[in-house]
Amino acid sequence: QKLRADGIACLRTRIGLSSDAPDPQIVCGFSYPADYNQVHLHLVMPPFRHMLLFRRPVFYLYEEVVASLDRSGIVKPHPAVDLRADKAQMEYIVALDKHR
């Protein structure tokens, strides 16, 4: 949660948001497996050019990871095929992209 808060604070500074402005619309998440053996939190702002970044089973939404850790203490890999979850995640991303 600190990593997310630090990332959003950095993003707010970079785009020049005042302290009383709401947080920008972003997608926060992790890629797994990662290219390096460390955690990378992605904070991505619309417009989104490459939707493949957000495809399951590779992309894990921040909220999903936090809920899984709170519930069971671990994050299980996404199944290779979960069409309903894939569709729901992409609908969420596309809605954010259109909202900008």
**pLDDT of the chain, 100 residues: tens digit per residue:** 898 999 999 999 999 999 899 998 899 999 887 777 777 899 999 998 888 888 888 899 999 999 999 999 998 888 877 888 888 988 888 888 886 6
In three-state form (DSSP H/G/I as H, E/B as E, the rest C), the secondary structure along the chain is CHHHHHHHHHHHHHHCCCCCCCCCCCEEEEECCCCCCCCCEEEECCCCCCHHHHCCCCEEEHHHHHHHHHHHCCCCCCCCCCHHHHHHHHHHHHHHHHHC
